[in-house]
Structure 1
Amino acid sequence: MKLISWNVNGLRSTEKQFLEFMNVIQPDIMMLQEVRAHPDQLNFFLQHIPGYKVLFNPAEQPGYSGTAIYHKKSLGINNVTNQLSSKILSSEGRTIECTCENTKILNFYTPNGTGKEERLSFKLKFYSEILKYITALQKSKYSIILGGDLNVAHTKLDLYAPKENENRSGFLKEERKWFENFLKMGFVDTFRLFQKKGGYYTWWHMRDPKRESNRGWRFDYFLVSKDLKGKVKSSKILKDVFGSDHCPIELVSNL
Protein backbone atom coordinates (compact mmCIF):
# COMPACT_ATOMS: atom_id res chain seq x y z
CA MET A 1 0.00 0.00 0.00
CA LYS A 2 1.28 3.44 -0.96
CA LEU A 3 0.27 6.43 1.16
CA ILE A 4 1.09 10.06 0.43
CA SER A 5 0.75 13.05 2.74
CA TRP A 6 0.99 16.59 1.41
CA ASN A 7 0.33 20.03 2.86
CA VAL A 8 -0.78 21.68 -0.37
CA ASN A 9 -1.01 25.25 1.01
CA GLY A 10 -4.33 25.79 -0.78
CA LEU A 11 -5.69 23.07 -3.07
CA ARG A 12 -7.16 25.52 -5.57
CA SER A 13 -3.78 27.16 -6.17
CA THR A 14 -2.02 23.77 -6.32
CA GLU A 15 -4.68 22.10 -8.50
CA LYS A 16 -2.57 21.60 -11.63
CA GLN A 17 0.43 20.14 -9.80
CA PHE A 18 -1.79 18.03 -7.56
CA LEU A 19 -3.78 16.42 -10.38
CA GLU A 20 -0.62 15.72 -12.37
CA PHE A 21 0.98 14.18 -9.28
CA MET A 22 -2.05 11.97 -8.61
CA ASN A 23 -2.07 10.78 -12.21
CA VAL A 24 1.61 9.80 -12.09
CA ILE A 25 1.95 8.41 -8.56
CA GLN A 26 -1.56 6.93 -8.17
CA PRO A 27 -1.33 6.41 -4.39
CA ASP A 28 -3.70 4.10 -2.60
CA ILE A 29 -4.37 6.83 -0.05
CA MET A 30 -3.67 10.55 -0.39
CA MET A 31 -3.83 12.72 2.72
CA LEU A 32 -3.98 16.48 2.26
CA GLN A 33 -3.52 19.28 4.75
CA GLU A 34 -4.21 23.00 4.44
CA VAL A 35 -6.80 22.51 1.70
CA ARG A 36 -8.18 25.98 2.49
CA ALA A 37 -11.48 25.52 0.66
CA HIS A 38 -14.97 24.13 1.13
CA PRO A 39 -15.90 21.33 -1.30
CA ASP A 40 -18.34 23.59 -3.19
CA GLN A 41 -15.40 25.89 -3.98
CA LEU A 42 -13.49 23.08 -5.70
CA ASN A 43 -14.05 22.17 -9.31
CA PHE A 44 -15.35 18.90 -10.68
CA PHE A 45 -11.91 17.44 -11.36
CA LEU A 46 -10.75 17.84 -7.76
CA GLN A 47 -13.92 16.24 -6.44
CA HIS A 48 -14.10 13.38 -8.95
CA ILE A 49 -10.69 11.81 -9.57
CA PRO A 50 -11.33 8.54 -11.46
CA GLY A 51 -11.03 5.50 -9.22
CA TYR A 52 -11.05 7.47 -5.96
CA LYS A 53 -13.44 8.47 -3.23
CA VAL A 54 -12.76 11.63 -1.25
CA LEU A 55 -13.79 13.16 2.05
CA PHE A 56 -13.09 16.80 2.87
CA ASN A 57 -13.01 18.37 6.30
CA PRO A 58 -13.12 22.15 5.79
CA ALA A 59 -12.67 24.70 8.53
CA GLU A 60 -15.59 26.97 9.34
CA GLN A 61 -13.39 29.98 8.63
CA PRO A 62 -13.23 30.47 4.83
CA GLY A 63 -9.87 29.94 3.17
CA TYR A 64 -8.29 28.45 6.28
CA SER A 65 -6.87 25.08 7.34
CA GLY A 66 -8.85 22.03 6.17
CA THR A 67 -7.93 18.43 5.39
CA ALA A 68 -8.92 15.75 2.88
CA ILE A 69 -8.41 12.05 2.20
CA TYR A 70 -8.60 10.49 -1.27
CA HIS A 71 -8.63 6.68 -1.28
CA LYS A 72 -8.94 4.12 -4.04
CA LYS A 73 -12.41 2.65 -4.33
CA SER A 74 -10.87 -0.82 -4.62
CA LEU A 75 -9.29 -0.68 -1.15
CA GLY A 76 -12.37 -1.35 0.91
CA ILE A 77 -11.74 1.63 3.15
CA ASN A 78 -14.60 2.27 5.56
CA ASN A 79 -15.61 4.42 8.51
CA VAL A 80 -14.17 7.55 6.95
CA THR A 81 -14.99 10.40 9.31
CA ASN A 82 -14.00 13.95 10.09
CA GLN A 83 -15.74 13.94 13.46
CA LEU A 84 -13.53 12.49 16.18
CA SER A 85 -14.61 12.13 19.79
CA SER A 86 -12.42 15.06 20.82
CA LYS A 87 -13.89 18.52 20.16
CA ILE A 88 -10.41 20.03 19.97
CA LEU A 89 -9.24 17.50 17.37
CA SER A 90 -12.42 18.01 15.35
CA SER A 91 -12.09 21.80 15.32
CA GLU A 92 -10.71 23.89 12.44
CA GLY A 93 -10.95 21.02 9.94
CA ARG A 94 -7.67 19.49 11.08
CA THR A 95 -8.38 15.75 11.23
CA ILE A 96 -9.75 12.89 9.16
CA GLU A 97 -9.76 9.22 10.09
CA CYS A 98 -10.47 6.08 8.09
CA THR A 99 -10.26 2.35 8.72
CA CYS A 100 -8.67 -0.34 6.57
CA GLU A 101 -9.41 -3.74 8.12
CA ASN A 102 -7.86 -3.47 11.63
CA THR A 103 -5.76 -0.40 10.90
CA LYS A 104 -6.75 3.17 11.71
CA ILE A 105 -5.30 5.71 9.29
CA LEU A 106 -5.21 9.24 10.67
CA ASN A 107 -4.62 12.47 8.78
CA PHE A 108 -3.58 15.32 11.10
CA TYR A 109 -2.82 18.97 10.44
CA THR A 110 -1.66 20.34 13.77
CA PRO A 111 -1.83 24.07 14.48
CA ASN A 112 1.04 26.45 13.93
CA GLY A 113 1.99 27.97 17.28
CA THR A 114 3.46 31.21 15.97
CA GLY A 115 1.81 34.59 16.36
CA LYS A 116 -0.53 35.11 19.28
CA GLU A 117 0.21 33.35 22.56
CA GLU A 118 -3.19 31.66 22.57
CA ARG A 119 -2.31 29.84 19.35
CA LEU A 120 0.65 28.15 21.02
CA SER A 121 -1.63 27.24 23.91
CA PHE A 122 -4.17 25.77 21.48
CA LYS A 123 -1.40 23.85 19.70
CA LEU A 124 -0.22 22.26 22.94
CA LYS A 125 -3.81 21.34 23.84
CA PHE A 126 -4.21 19.82 20.38
CA TYR A 127 -1.04 17.75 20.93
CA SER A 128 -2.35 16.57 24.30
CA GLU A 129 -5.65 15.50 22.75
CA ILE A 130 -3.79 13.52 20.07
CA LEU A 131 -2.06 11.49 22.79
CA LYS A 132 -5.37 10.85 24.57
CA TYR A 133 -7.11 9.83 21.36
CA ILE A 134 -4.28 7.54 20.24
CA THR A 135 -4.17 5.90 23.68
CA ALA A 136 -7.86 5.06 23.35
CA LEU A 137 -7.29 3.56 19.90
CA GLN A 138 -4.44 1.44 21.23
CA LYS A 139 -6.72 0.05 23.94
CA SER A 140 -9.14 -0.91 21.17
CA LYS A 141 -6.34 -3.05 19.64
CA TYR A 142 -6.07 -1.09 16.39
CA SER A 143 -2.88 -0.82 14.40
CA ILE A 144 -2.30 2.86 13.63
CA ILE A 145 -0.80 4.93 10.82
CA LEU A 146 -0.62 8.65 11.46
CA GLY A 147 0.36 10.97 8.64
CA GLY A 148 0.37 14.70 8.18
CA ASP A 149 1.87 18.06 8.98
CA LEU A 150 2.66 17.95 12.70
CA ASN A 151 4.32 21.38 12.77
CA VAL A 152 7.27 20.23 14.87
CA ALA A 153 10.90 19.44 14.07
CA HIS A 154 11.75 16.50 16.32
CA THR A 155 15.52 16.95 16.72
CA LYS A 156 18.29 19.26 15.57
CA LEU A 157 18.65 17.03 12.53
CA ASP A 158 15.19 18.10 11.40
CA LEU A 159 15.80 21.80 10.72
CA TYR A 160 18.54 23.83 9.11
CA ALA A 161 19.43 26.12 12.04
CA PRO A 162 18.48 24.53 15.36
CA LYS A 163 20.38 26.94 17.60
CA GLU A 164 18.86 30.03 16.01
CA ASN A 165 15.34 28.55 16.16
CA GLU A 166 15.26 26.98 19.63
CA ASN A 167 12.84 29.67 20.87
CA ARG A 168 10.59 29.51 17.83
CA SER A 169 7.37 27.52 17.67
CA GLY A 170 8.04 24.32 15.79
CA PHE A 171 11.20 23.62 17.77
CA LEU A 172 10.21 24.55 21.32
CA LYS A 173 11.13 22.13 24.09
CA GLU A 174 7.49 21.48 25.00
CA GLU A 175 6.62 20.69 21.37
CA ARG A 176 9.54 18.30 21.00
CA LYS A 177 8.70 16.69 24.34
CA TRP A 178 5.25 15.87 22.97
CA PHE A 179 6.87 14.14 20.00
CA GLU A 180 9.15 12.20 22.34
CA ASN A 181 6.14 11.11 24.39
CA PHE A 182 4.48 9.93 21.21
CA LEU A 183 7.49 7.76 20.38
CA LYS A 184 7.54 6.41 23.95
CA MET A 185 4.02 5.13 23.32
CA GLY A 186 5.59 2.75 20.81
CA PHE A 187 5.28 4.76 17.61
CA VAL A 188 7.96 4.79 14.94
CA ASP A 189 9.11 7.73 12.82
CA THR A 190 9.23 5.78 9.57
CA PHE A 191 11.57 8.16 7.74
CA ARG A 192 14.24 7.60 10.40
CA LEU A 193 14.11 3.86 9.77
CA PHE A 194 15.91 4.56 6.50
CA GLN A 195 17.73 7.88 6.93
CA LYS A 196 19.72 8.79 10.04
CA LYS A 197 21.37 11.97 8.77
CA GLY A 198 20.14 15.56 8.80
CA GLY A 199 19.47 17.89 5.89
CA TYR A 200 16.20 16.27 4.83
CA TYR A 201 13.26 18.65 5.07
CA THR A 202 9.62 18.93 4.01
CA TRP A 203 8.97 22.68 4.39
CA TRP A 204 10.84 25.68 2.99
CA HIS A 205 10.04 29.38 3.03
CA MET A 206 8.14 30.62 -0.01
CA ARG A 207 10.96 33.11 -0.63
CA ASP A 208 13.01 30.09 -1.71
CA PRO A 209 10.55 28.44 -4.13
CA LYS A 210 13.20 26.26 -5.78
CA ARG A 211 14.49 25.10 -2.37
CA GLU A 212 18.04 25.73 -3.55
CA SER A 213 19.34 26.89 -0.17
CA ASN A 214 17.71 23.90 1.56
CA ARG A 215 17.01 26.06 4.61
CA GLY A 216 14.08 23.93 5.65
CA TRP A 217 12.29 22.10 8.44
CA ARG A 218 10.96 18.54 8.60
CA PHE A 219 7.37 19.12 9.70
CA ASP A 220 5.67 16.23 7.87
CA TYR A 221 5.68 12.65 9.12
CA PHE A 222 4.38 9.15 8.77
CA LEU A 223 4.32 7.49 12.20
CA VAL A 224 3.22 3.89 12.70
CA SER A 225 2.44 1.78 15.74
CA LYS A 226 5.23 -0.64 16.60
CA ASP A 227 3.31 -3.68 15.34
CA LEU A 228 3.52 -2.20 11.82
CA LYS A 229 7.24 -1.41 11.91
CA GLY A 230 8.19 -4.65 10.16
CA LYS A 231 5.68 -3.96 7.38
CA VAL A 232 7.22 -0.62 6.35
CA LYS A 233 9.01 -1.02 3.01
CA SER A 234 10.04 2.60 2.41
CA SER A 235 9.46 6.13 3.69
CA LYS A 236 10.54 9.02 1.49
CA ILE A 237 10.54 12.79 1.19
CA LEU A 238 9.57 13.79 -2.37
CA LYS A 239 11.56 17.02 -2.45
CA ASP A 240 11.34 17.47 -6.23
CA VAL A 241 7.55 17.83 -6.22
CA PHE A 242 6.63 21.53 -6.26
CA GLY A 243 3.45 23.58 -5.97
CA SER A 244 3.45 24.24 -2.22
CA ASP A 245 5.84 25.40 0.48
CA HIS A 246 5.73 21.76 1.65
CA CYS A 247 6.67 18.74 -0.44
CA PRO A 248 4.82 15.41 -0.27
CA ILE A 249 6.02 12.46 1.78
CA GLU A 250 5.49 8.81 0.86
CA LEU A 251 5.03 5.64 2.89
CA VAL A 252 4.98 2.19 1.30
CA SER A 253 3.95 -0.72 3.52
CA ASN A 254 2.85 -4.33 3.29
CA LEU A 255 -0.61 -3.74 4.71
Structure 2
Amino acid sequence: MKIITYNVNGIRSASTKNFFGWLQSTDADMVCLQEVKAMPEQIPEIIALIESLGYHHYWFCAEKKGYSGVALLTKIKPLHVEYGCGEEWIDKEGRILRADFEDFSLMSVYLPSGSSGDERQAKKYVFMDFFEQYITNLRLTHPNLIISGDYNICHSAIDIHNPKSNAKSSGFLPEERAWMDLLVGSGLTDTFRHFNKDPHHYTWWSYRAGSRAKNLGWRIDYHLTTPPMLERLKNVRILPDAIHSDHCPVLLELESKT
Protein backbone atom coordinates (compact mmCIF):
# COMPACT_ATOMS: atom_id res chain seq x y z
CA MET A 1 0.00 0.00 0.00
CA LYS A 2 1.30 3.44 -0.97
CA ILE A 3 0.36 6.54 1.03
CA ILE A 4 1.52 10.02 0.01
CA THR A 5 1.44 13.24 2.00
CA TYR A 6 1.86 16.48 0.06
CA ASN A 7 1.38 20.15 0.83
CA VAL A 8 0.36 21.27 -2.65
CA ASN A 9 0.27 25.03 -1.84
CA GLY A 10 -2.97 25.38 -3.80
CA ILE A 11 -4.58 22.47 -5.64
CA ARG A 12 -5.47 24.72 -8.58
CA SER A 13 -1.89 25.91 -8.96
CA ALA A 14 -0.52 22.36 -8.65
CA SER A 15 -2.97 21.09 -11.27
CA THR A 16 -1.47 23.49 -13.85
CA LYS A 17 1.91 21.79 -13.30
CA ASN A 18 0.73 18.28 -14.25
CA PHE A 19 0.08 17.28 -10.65
CA PHE A 20 -2.56 14.77 -11.68
CA GLY A 21 -0.43 13.21 -14.40
CA TRP A 22 2.26 12.77 -11.78
CA LEU A 23 -0.22 11.39 -9.24
CA GLN A 24 -1.47 8.79 -11.69
CA SER A 25 2.11 7.66 -12.30
CA THR A 26 2.66 7.05 -8.56
CA ASP A 27 -0.23 4.56 -8.33
CA ALA A 28 -0.80 5.79 -4.77
CA ASP A 29 -3.59 4.14 -2.82
CA MET A 30 -4.15 7.10 -0.49
CA VAL A 31 -3.10 10.75 -0.61
CA CYS A 32 -3.12 13.30 2.20
CA LEU A 33 -3.16 16.87 0.89
CA GLN A 34 -2.56 20.07 2.80
CA GLU A 35 -3.03 23.72 1.92
CA VAL A 36 -5.49 22.89 -0.85
CA LYS A 37 -6.79 26.49 -0.79
CA ALA A 38 -10.03 25.58 -2.52
CA MET A 39 -13.48 24.19 -1.82
CA PRO A 40 -14.77 21.27 -3.93
CA GLU A 41 -17.59 23.37 -5.38
CA GLN A 42 -14.99 25.82 -6.72
CA ILE A 43 -13.05 23.18 -8.69
CA PRO A 44 -15.51 20.87 -10.53
CA GLU A 45 -13.00 20.01 -13.27
CA ILE A 46 -10.41 18.98 -10.70
CA ILE A 47 -12.98 16.92 -8.80
CA ALA A 48 -13.92 15.12 -12.02
CA LEU A 49 -10.25 14.38 -12.68
CA ILE A 50 -9.76 13.00 -9.15
CA GLU A 51 -12.75 10.71 -9.60
CA SER A 52 -11.52 9.58 -13.03
CA LEU A 53 -8.36 8.32 -11.30
CA GLY A 54 -10.48 6.10 -9.06
CA TYR A 55 -10.30 8.08 -5.83
CA HIS A 56 -12.95 8.72 -3.23
CA HIS A 57 -12.25 12.21 -1.95
CA TYR A 58 -12.95 14.09 1.27
CA TRP A 59 -12.29 17.76 1.97
CA PHE A 60 -12.14 19.86 5.11
CA CYS A 61 -11.75 23.45 4.05
CA ALA A 62 -11.08 26.67 5.90
CA GLU A 63 -13.92 29.14 6.24
CA LYS A 64 -11.67 31.76 4.67
CA LYS A 65 -11.55 31.21 0.92
CA GLY A 66 -8.17 30.53 -0.63
CA TYR A 67 -6.62 29.60 2.72
CA SER A 68 -5.37 26.40 4.32
CA GLY A 69 -7.60 23.32 4.01
CA VAL A 70 -6.86 19.59 3.95
CA ALA A 71 -8.10 16.68 1.84
CA LEU A 72 -7.89 12.92 1.62
CA LEU A 73 -7.98 10.93 -1.61
CA THR A 74 -8.35 7.17 -1.28
CA LYS A 75 -9.02 4.25 -3.59
CA ILE A 76 -10.35 2.31 -0.60
CA LYS A 77 -13.61 3.69 0.72
CA PRO A 78 -13.33 4.55 4.44
CA LEU A 79 -15.65 3.14 7.06
CA HIS A 80 -15.89 6.60 8.61
CA VAL A 81 -14.58 10.10 7.97
CA GLU A 82 -14.04 12.54 10.84
CA TYR A 83 -14.07 16.17 9.81
CA GLY A 84 -12.08 18.36 12.18
CA CYS A 85 -11.23 17.88 15.83
CA GLY A 86 -14.00 19.74 17.67
CA GLU A 87 -11.85 22.76 18.54
CA GLU A 88 -13.67 25.67 16.89
CA TRP A 89 -10.81 27.91 15.80
CA ILE A 90 -8.77 24.99 14.47
CA ASP A 91 -11.73 23.62 12.54
CA LYS A 92 -12.45 27.04 11.06
CA GLU A 93 -8.96 26.90 9.56
CA GLY A 94 -9.48 23.41 8.07
CA ARG A 95 -6.48 21.65 9.59
CA ILE A 96 -7.43 18.08 10.60
CA LEU A 97 -9.20 15.33 8.62
CA ARG A 98 -9.27 11.62 9.47
CA ALA A 99 -10.43 8.53 7.60
CA ASP A 100 -10.97 5.24 9.42
CA PHE A 101 -10.38 1.98 7.56
CA GLU A 102 -10.69 -1.63 8.66
CA ASP A 103 -7.15 -1.92 10.02
CA PHE A 104 -5.91 1.66 10.55
CA SER A 105 -6.84 5.33 10.54
CA LEU A 106 -5.18 7.98 8.37
CA MET A 107 -5.03 11.68 9.22
CA SER A 108 -4.19 14.62 7.00
CA VAL A 109 -2.88 17.38 9.25
CA TYR A 110 -1.70 20.93 8.60
CA LEU A 111 -0.12 22.71 11.56
CA PRO A 112 -0.13 26.51 11.63
CA SER A 113 2.96 28.43 10.62
CA GLY A 114 4.33 30.96 13.05
CA SER A 115 6.54 32.72 10.54
CA SER A 116 4.22 35.72 10.08
CA GLY A 117 4.75 36.99 13.62
CA ASP A 118 4.33 36.53 17.36
CA GLU A 119 0.54 36.27 17.27
CA ARG A 120 0.53 33.31 14.89
CA GLN A 121 3.45 31.70 16.72
CA ALA A 122 1.42 31.86 19.93
CA LYS A 123 -1.51 30.30 18.05
CA LYS A 124 0.81 27.57 16.83
CA TYR A 125 1.79 26.73 20.41
CA VAL A 126 -1.90 26.55 21.36
CA PHE A 127 -2.48 24.15 18.47
CA MET A 128 0.51 22.02 19.48
CA ASP A 129 -0.68 21.69 23.07
CA PHE A 130 -4.17 20.79 21.94
CA PHE A 131 -3.03 18.35 19.26
CA GLU A 132 -0.70 16.41 21.55
CA GLN A 133 -3.56 15.77 23.97
CA TYR A 134 -5.99 15.11 21.11
CA ILE A 135 -3.73 12.38 19.71
CA THR A 136 -3.14 10.92 23.18
CA ASN A 137 -6.89 10.55 23.66
CA LEU A 138 -7.51 9.34 20.11
CA ARG A 139 -4.97 6.54 20.49
CA LEU A 140 -7.14 5.01 23.20
CA THR A 141 -9.90 4.30 20.67
CA HIS A 142 -7.88 4.29 17.43
CA PRO A 143 -4.53 2.65 18.26
CA ASN A 144 -3.52 2.08 14.62
CA LEU A 145 -2.85 5.64 13.48
CA ILE A 146 -0.93 7.23 10.62
CA ILE A 147 -0.66 10.99 11.18
CA SER A 148 0.53 12.53 7.93
CA GLY A 149 1.04 16.10 6.91
CA ASP A 150 2.85 19.40 7.13
CA TYR A 151 3.95 19.92 10.72
CA ASN A 152 5.79 23.19 9.98
CA ILE A 153 8.56 22.01 12.35
CA CYS A 154 12.05 20.62 11.77
CA HIS A 155 12.71 18.12 14.51
CA SER A 156 16.51 18.00 14.54
CA ALA A 157 19.54 19.85 13.20
CA ILE A 158 19.84 17.16 10.53
CA ASP A 159 16.44 18.24 9.18
CA ILE A 160 17.41 21.80 8.23
CA HIS A 161 20.11 23.14 5.92
CA ASN A 162 21.54 25.70 8.34
CA PRO A 163 20.59 24.98 11.95
CA LYS A 164 22.82 27.70 13.42
CA SER A 165 21.40 30.61 11.46
CA ASN A 166 17.85 29.30 11.90
CA ALA A 167 18.09 28.71 15.66
CA LYS A 168 15.60 31.52 16.30
CA SER A 169 13.38 30.87 13.27
CA SER A 170 9.79 29.70 13.60
CA GLY A 171 9.76 26.03 12.69
CA PHE A 172 13.06 25.33 14.42
CA LEU A 173 12.54 26.92 17.82
CA PRO A 174 13.54 24.95 20.93
CA GLU A 175 9.91 24.73 22.08
CA GLU A 176 8.81 23.31 18.74
CA ARG A 177 11.62 20.79 18.62
CA ALA A 178 10.86 19.75 22.22
CA TRP A 179 7.25 19.15 21.17
CA MET A 180 8.43 16.80 18.43
CA ASP A 181 10.56 15.07 21.09
CA LEU A 182 7.37 14.68 23.11
CA LEU A 183 5.50 13.05 20.22
CA VAL A 184 8.32 10.64 19.46
CA GLY A 185 8.79 9.98 23.17
CA SER A 186 5.14 9.00 23.41
CA GLY A 187 5.80 6.16 20.98
CA LEU A 188 5.13 7.78 17.62
CA THR A 189 7.60 6.82 14.89
CA ASP A 190 9.07 9.38 12.49
CA THR A 191 8.89 6.90 9.64
CA PHE A 192 11.41 8.60 7.37
CA ARG A 193 14.06 8.61 10.08
CA HIS A 194 13.19 5.00 10.87
CA PHE A 195 14.67 4.10 7.49
CA ASN A 196 17.06 6.95 6.73
CA LYS A 197 19.51 8.65 9.10
CA ASP A 198 21.33 10.68 6.43
CA PRO A 199 21.37 14.51 6.20
CA HIS A 200 20.29 16.77 3.33
CA HIS A 201 16.80 15.31 2.88
CA TYR A 202 14.22 18.09 2.86
CA THR A 203 10.54 18.55 1.97
CA TRP A 204 10.25 22.35 1.74
CA TRP A 205 12.36 25.06 0.15
CA SER A 206 11.91 28.82 0.09
CA TYR A 207 11.13 30.28 -3.33
CA ARG A 208 13.89 32.80 -2.71
CA ALA A 209 17.53 32.72 -3.82
CA GLY A 210 17.32 29.45 -5.73
CA SER A 211 16.96 27.51 -2.49
CA ARG A 212 15.55 24.38 -4.10
CA ALA A 213 18.24 24.13 -6.77
CA LYS A 214 20.85 24.48 -4.04
CA ASN A 215 18.93 22.07 -1.75
CA LEU A 216 18.76 24.65 1.06
CA GLY A 217 15.65 23.18 2.60
CA TRP A 218 13.74 22.08 5.65
CA ARG A 219 12.17 18.68 6.44
CA ILE A 220 8.77 19.64 7.85
CA ASP A 221 6.44 17.03 6.28
CA TYR A 222 6.06 13.71 8.09
CA HIS A 223 4.29 10.38 8.30
CA LEU A 224 4.13 9.64 12.04
CA THR A 225 2.77 6.25 13.10
CA THR A 226 1.72 4.60 16.35
CA PRO A 227 3.54 1.50 17.66
CA PRO A 228 1.10 -1.10 16.26
CA MET A 229 1.90 0.13 12.73
CA LEU A 230 5.65 -0.32 13.10
CA GLU A 231 5.81 -3.91 11.87
CA ARG A 232 3.94 -2.89 8.70
CA LEU A 233 6.39 -0.16 7.65
CA LYS A 234 8.09 -1.16 4.40
CA ASN A 235 9.74 2.01 3.14
CA VAL A 236 9.53 5.81 3.20
CA ARG A 237 10.89 8.08 0.50
CA ILE A 238 10.99 11.83 -0.01
CA LEU A 239 10.27 12.67 -3.65
CA PRO A 240 12.07 15.97 -4.38
CA ASP A 241 11.73 15.62 -8.16
CA ALA A 242 7.96 16.25 -7.88
CA ILE A 243 7.79 20.00 -8.39
CA HIS A 244 4.20 21.22 -8.07
CA SER A 245 4.67 23.26 -4.90
CA ASP A 246 7.30 24.73 -2.59
CA HIS A 247 6.97 21.40 -0.74
CA CYS A 248 7.54 17.93 -2.15
CA PRO A 249 5.66 14.70 -1.40
CA VAL A 250 6.64 11.97 1.02
CA LEU A 251 5.74 8.39 0.12
CA LEU A 252 5.05 5.76 2.79
CA GLU A 253 4.82 2.10 1.78
CA LEU A 254 3.02 -0.34 4.08
CA GLU A 255 3.03 -4.10 4.05
CA SER A 256 -0.43 -5.56 3.62
CA LYS A 257 -1.96 -6.85 6.80
CA THR A 258 -1.62 -10.63 7.04
TM-score, normalization by structure 2:
0.93
State the AA in 2 paired with 1:252: E
Contact 1:112 1:151 in 2 (8 A): yes
Deviation at 1:228, TM superposition (A): 1.0
Q: Distance in 1 between matches of 2:210 and 2:23?
A: 21
- 1:182 Cα offset (Å): 0.4
Letter paired with 1:179: M
- 1:4-15 matches, within 5 Å, as 4-15=4-15
Matches within 5 A, 1:55-70: 55-70=58-73
Shift of 1:36: 0.7
Partner in structure 2 of residue 158 of structure 1: 159
Q: Which amino acid aligns with 2:6?
A: W
1:181 aligned onto 2:215: no
Give distance in 1, aligned partners of 2:143 and 2:210.
40
Name 2:36's counterpart in structure 1.
35
* Counterpart residue number, 1:200: 201
Q: Show the counterpart of 1:251.
A: 252
Q: Indicate if the aligned counterparts of 2:211 and 2:217 stay in contact, CA closer than 8 A.
A: no
Q: 1:78 aligns to what?
A: 79
Q: 1:13 to 1:185 in 2, by over 3 A?
A: same
Percent sequence identity is 36
- Asked if structure 2 preserves the Cα contact closer than 8 Å seen for 1:89 and 1:129, the reply is no
Alignment of 1:118-137 (within 5 A): 118-137=119-138
Q: How far apart are the structure 1 equivalents of 2:47 and 2:208?
A: 27
- Cα distance in 1, alignment partners of residues 33 and 193 from structure 2: 22
- CA-atom RMSD, angstroms? 1.5
Q: For residue 40 of structure 1, report the CA deviation from its aligned partner.
A: 1.6
- 1:218-255 per-residue CA deviation (whole Å, 9 max, x = no partner) reads 01000111121111000010010001000000000124
Residue identity in the other structure for 1:5: T
Partner amino acid, structure 2, of 1:49? E
Per the TM alignment, residue 141 of structure 1 is displaced from its structure 2 partner at its CA by: 4.8
Q: TM-score, normalised by structure 1?
A: 0.94
Q: How many residues align?
A: 253
User: How far apart, in 1, do the equivalents of 2:203 and 2:100 lie?
Assistant: 26
Q: Which deviates the most, 126-135 or 214-223?
A: 126-135
Larger deviation: 113-122 or 206-215?
A: 206-215
Which residue identity does 2:51 align to in structure 1? I
Residue in structure 2 matched with residue 52 of structure 1 by the alignment: 55
Question: Tell me, which stretches of 5 or more residues in structure 1 are unaligned?
Answer: none
Amino acid at match of 1:56: W
In structure 2, C-alpha distance between the alignment counterparts of 1:187 and 1:125, rounded to whole Å: 20
Aligned-partner SS, 1:93: coil
Instruction: Name the CA shift for 1:208/1:253 in 2 (closer, same or farther; >3 Å).
Output: farther
Question: Which string of whole-angstrom CA distances, capped at 9 and with x for unpartnered residues, describes residues 40-87 of structure 1?
Answer: 221323344221111111111111111111110xx2422112232333
Quick one: structure 1 residues 180 and 12, their matched pair in 2 at CA, closer, same or farther if it must change by over 3 Å?
Answer: same
Partner of 1:21: 22
Shift of 1:209: 6.2
Q: Which whole-Å CA distance do the structure 2 matches of 1:233 and 1:223 have between them? A: 14
Q: Is contact 2:2-2:254 (8 Å) kept?
A: yes
What CA deviation, in whole Å up to 9, does each residue of 1:3-56 have, x standing for no partner?
Answer: 001000111011142211221112111111011111122132334422111111
Q: CA deviation at 1:196?
A: 0.5
Q: Equivalents in 2 of 1:20, 1:233: separation in Å?
A: 25
Deviation at 1:208, TM superposition (A): 5.5
Indicate yes or no: 2:5 matched with 1:2: no
Deviates more, 1:32-41 or 1:216-225: 32-41
The one-letter amino acid of 1:229's match is: L
